[in-house]
Amino acid sequence: VDYPQYTCSPSSAGSAFLTLNSFQEGGDGGGGGACNGSFYPDSEPVVALSTGWYNGGSRCGRTITINGNGRSTTATVVDECDSVHGCDADHAGQPPCRNNIVDGSKAVWDALGVSQDDPRYGEMSITWND
């Protein structure tokens, strides 16, 4: 199966889709975060950014603001949501990310007030900025 591959993302922060990821060891995110190889509990507000926004790690450790569901929260960038590679063990068998993804931990979703029974849980439109 061929999947789209992206080496770029929109030129700046702005509109995106928030997706759900576990950054815990053994979670659905695969290996440790690309920024420092660490794992993070689901209770910690952390995100992975699509390859273009990740920009070779230039946003690692930075706090971003995420706006969605009429709320705002912050999260720390700890990983890349790889828009080029996927479907292998390093990526837990997942296809490459789209180029407009902010992949957030459960804590990010909780802070935005989106519960697991909400039909948007797992993917919803957001805006974000540095």
Query: What pLDDT score does 83 carry?
Result: 87
Give the tokens for residue 103.
């992949």
Query: What pLDDT score does 8 carry?
Result: 57
- Residue 63 in 3-state DSSP? strand
Q: Where are the beta strands (DSSP E) in 13-114?
A: 15-20, 46-50, 63-68, 71-81, 101-104
Rounded CA-CA distance 103/46 in Å is: 8
Query: What pLDDT score does 28 carry?
Result: 78
* Domains along the sequence of the chain with CATH: 15-129 (2.40.40.10)
Query: What pLDDT score does 30 carry?
Result: 72
**Residues of the chain whose pLDDT is less than 50?**
none
Query: What pLDDT score does 9 carry?
Result: 64
Diameter of the chain measured on Cα atoms: 38
